[in-house]
Structure 1
Amino acid sequence: MEEANDRLAEKVQALSDIELAVLVCLVAEQHCIIEAGKESINDVQAELKLVASNVFGLTCAVLDCDENTTLDDFGSGILVKDDGEDYFGKNNGRLQGEFSSKSGSPRMPDRRISKSPRPFSPLDSRRIANIVVAKDVNQASLQVQIQALELIRGKRNFTRTAVHAAPKPFLFIALNSTGTPRLTMHLNDQFSISHHHLVNDGLPNLEDLQEQALASEDGASTSSVVHTPPYAPVRDKAQAIMLPPEDLTHLTTLMSQVKISPEVRAYLYNIVVFMRLHRAVAGGISAMATRHFDTIARALAPLHGLDYMSPSLVALAARKVYPHRIVITAPENERSMQWGSSLEAVKAVLEGVTVEDVIEEVLQSVEAPL
């Protein structure tokens, strides 16, 4: 067991920032927001697709959103070709029963099974991808964002011809451009972490693909007999995925066994209280954010080879869970204005304050247990 954990720890240490963000969400069974500059967002999109196939061996669907995206566009954009083992397949009979039990009709599953083992396949044999990358979903209409919210919460999507259930594992990634509007409040709160990708962080999978393509072109130009397809090395690499599903399952099991001491638990909730009471925070901190805070802190422990939650992991989780949730209040709405504070003084205090500043100030204000 220890050898397996050490092997997983070595794999985790070799991952890039984007790969780590995806891994944390897959282990915690949560979803994430990734932000990138407008000039690099297409490259990040390509990198995420390569991460899904090369690192985790999962299917990936990319959905380009804008203000003209319709519900039909969303419903079809998250689907991939069925491999024969979807939600209604014979390998998922238990899940089919769970779905039917939630509908409140105990005899309906028997009638459906007697007609066809996969009732919706004649109309649409595609299925929802394991990883859905919704590019610029924050710029889509309210109806599309509500549909994304229903997909995340209900694990299924309704189209005109079928009901598509989300597979397991399932990860929804909102890939947004830096400086663009925020997601709607309820959808934004469903994402457990956010990650801002900097150009200097690099895109290792995309860079490897480009190097292999250049090498293939050079080889083709020096030989008129042997022609190597540029994407063949990528397919070979995908066959030996870095973190297969069994590794994800093992990490999820380790996460459920993570222990937390009373002192660390108090530290975690003190951070939540200080975050809610910070004068620069508008709208407070939601209960969903607190649940995600605890979940992500637990998910980080096995990735660091620990079976307990440490204060440093709690602080790291806070830096990932809260950036996309905190809204800096306007000076006229700052709470001390109710008690007669000067508007000019409040403006001076809040000038230049960022979300990152608020998080770091809270972490410095709360004493960490020894």
Structure 2
Amino acid sequence: MNEQNRSVNPVSSASLPPQSVRQEGYTSIQAINESVVASSSWVGLLRREMAKSIIGQEHLVERLLVGLLTGGHILLEGLPGLAKTLAVKTLAMVIHTDFQRIQFTPDMLPADIIGTQIYNPKDTLFEVKQGPIFSSLILADEINRAPAKVQSAMLEAMQEKQVTIGDETFRLPELFLVLATQNPIEQEGTYPLPEAQVDRFMMKVIVDYPSMTQERMILDAVDHTDSVVVVNPVVGPDDILASRRVVDSIYMDDKIKDYIVSLVCATRDPRSFKLDLHDYIETGASPRATINLKTVSRALAFLAGRGYVTPDDVKSAAMDVMRHRIRISYEAEAEAITTEDIIRKILDTVPVP
């Protein structure tokens, strides 16, 4: 469901409080709406600054904003040259915070990411040298070009926002966010990411080619080989963290919560929902999908200027949240059925509140 449809649809019954608390519910939702408007003033500024470098790719930019608003890590997948790295670098430039780019290669070691202990002969002690992971925004570029032992070094950081080096544990910044890019696994020199790590990404966003109109705009925008686009910082960590608190307060009706649970459970037991998909699904989505669907739906409501979640928000979030959490069977591969096909079928079948 596109942004336009989400913004013009009327409020569904599932978006409103129960009748017994309807009056109080309206009052609280109005207060949340006001908080959303007050705390989202930086969003438009950020979009305009990013548009200086990124032409088109509205879906990509929106998902990066969702990551900022939720603290959820994002995996961007697409062919080389589609502005994945540029989008993340531009995002870092428009935020008043520290940023590190980690270029993943086949010869990397875990210490290259998290750091290591170095012997100090003067004090006859081992000292901790922190790695580039100790930053607020991390661009993990071409993350699937490093072997599994390197990927495993990021599991603790992504899930618990802390890193253990030797016998010491260090907290990471509160704004800590991993924005990773990867080439399709069919590309030469790539490794499939471990399932445990893939599940820690809140969303997997597929970056596609721009349209012909956008491609022409890109051609016109690049007039000089040495042209450098200047973007300005427009938001700080405190503003983003304040917006996160507002996102957490956005109202979600129990019917929409049940809808989210139904969508996830349909990937595990499709027969219960009269879906003929059992032979095509090896494993369904994890509980992280349920949690992340709720979180992303709230963030999309925030970006739409609403203090309540609609079913369309959930539908819009479902593809990016669940596509990397469903493993298809050999039968599905043989019949050219993709994860996206399965999710569309589920969205078309599970009743909308």
Give your verdict on TM over 0.5: yes
Equivalent residue letter for 2:163 = N
- The answer to whether the 8 Å contact 1:31/1:192 transfers is yes
Equivalent residue letter for 1:32 = I
Residue number among 116, 128, 139 corresponding to 1:133 in the alignment: 139
Over alpha carbons, which structure has the higher Rg? Answer: 1
User: What's the RMSD between the two structures over aligned residues?
Assistant: 3.4
Task: Give the Å deviation of 1:121.
Answer: 9.4
Mark the CA change 1:304 to 1:325 in structure 2 (over 3 Å): closer, same or farther. Answer: same
Residue number among 28, 38, 45 corresponding to 1:4 in the alignment: 38
Pair 1:167 & 2:187 matched: no
Task: Give the Å deviation of 1:76.
Answer: 5.3
- The answer to whether the 8 Å contact 1:12/1:20 transfers is no
Task: Give the Å deviation of 1:148.
Answer: 0.8
Q: Where does structure 2 lack aligned partners over 5 or more consecutive residues? A: 1-33, 51-57, 117-125, 271-277
Equivalent residue letter for 2:299 = A
Distance 1:126 1:145 in 2: 14
Distance 2:158 2:198 in 1: 11
Describe the SS at the equivalent of 2:154: helix
- The answer to whether the 8 Å contact 2:100/2:132 transfers is no
Q: Which residue of 1 aligns with 2:342?
A: 358
Q: Where does structure 1 lack aligned partners over 5 or more consecutive residues? A: 78-119, 216-229, 335-346
Distance 2:265 2:128 in 1: 53
Q: Which residue of 1 aligns with 2:200?
A: 190
- The answer to whether the 8 Å contact 1:53/1:59 transfers is no
Q: Which residue of 2 aligns with 1:58?
A: 97
Q: Which residue of 2 aligns with 1:300?
A: 300
Mark the CA change 1:124 to 1:131 in structure 2 (over 3 Å): closer, same or farther. Answer: closer
Bigger share in helix? 1
Task: Give the Å deviation of 1:209.
Answer: 9.5
- The answer to whether the 8 Å contact 2:75/2:204 transfers is yes
- The answer to whether the 8 Å contact 1:127/1:164 transfers is no
Equivalent residue letter for 2:248 = S
Equivalent residue letter for 2:63 = A
Mark the CA change 1:212 to 1:330 in structure 2 (over 3 Å): closer, same or farther. Answer: same
Mark the CA change 1:12 to 1:306 in structure 2 (over 3 Å): closer, same or farther. Answer: farther
Equivalent residue letter for 2:109 = T
Where does 1:73-92 land on structure 2 (aligned, <5 Å)? 73-75=112-114
Mark the CA change 1:8 to 1:310 in structure 2 (over 3 Å): closer, same or farther. Answer: farther
Overall identity of the aligned pairs, in %: 21
Q: Which residue of 2 aligns with 1:271?
A: 263
Distance 1:71 1:183 in 2: 15
Distance 1:188 1:267 in 2: 24
Q: Which residue of 1 aligns with 2:244?
A: 252
Q: Which residue of 1 aligns with 2:314?
A: 314
Q: Which residue of 1 aligns with 2:150?
A: 144
Distance 1:192 1:35 in 2: 14
Pair 1:368 & 2:352 matched: yes
- The answer to whether the 8 Å contact 1:61/1:133 transfers is yes
- How many residue pairs match? The answer is 286
Pair 1:34 & 2:76 matched: yes
- The answer to whether the 8 Å contact 1:328/1:354 transfers is yes
Distance 2:182 2:311 in 1: 31
Q: Which residue of 1 aligns with 2:60?
A: 18
- The answer to whether the 8 Å contact 2:175/2:241 transfers is no
Deviations 1:295-348 (A, max 9, x none): 2112222111111111000111111101112221112xx8xxxxxxxxxxxx8x
Mark the CA change 1:310 to 1:125 in structure 2 (over 3 Å): closer, same or farther. Answer: closer
Q: Which residue of 2 aligns with 1:115?
A: none
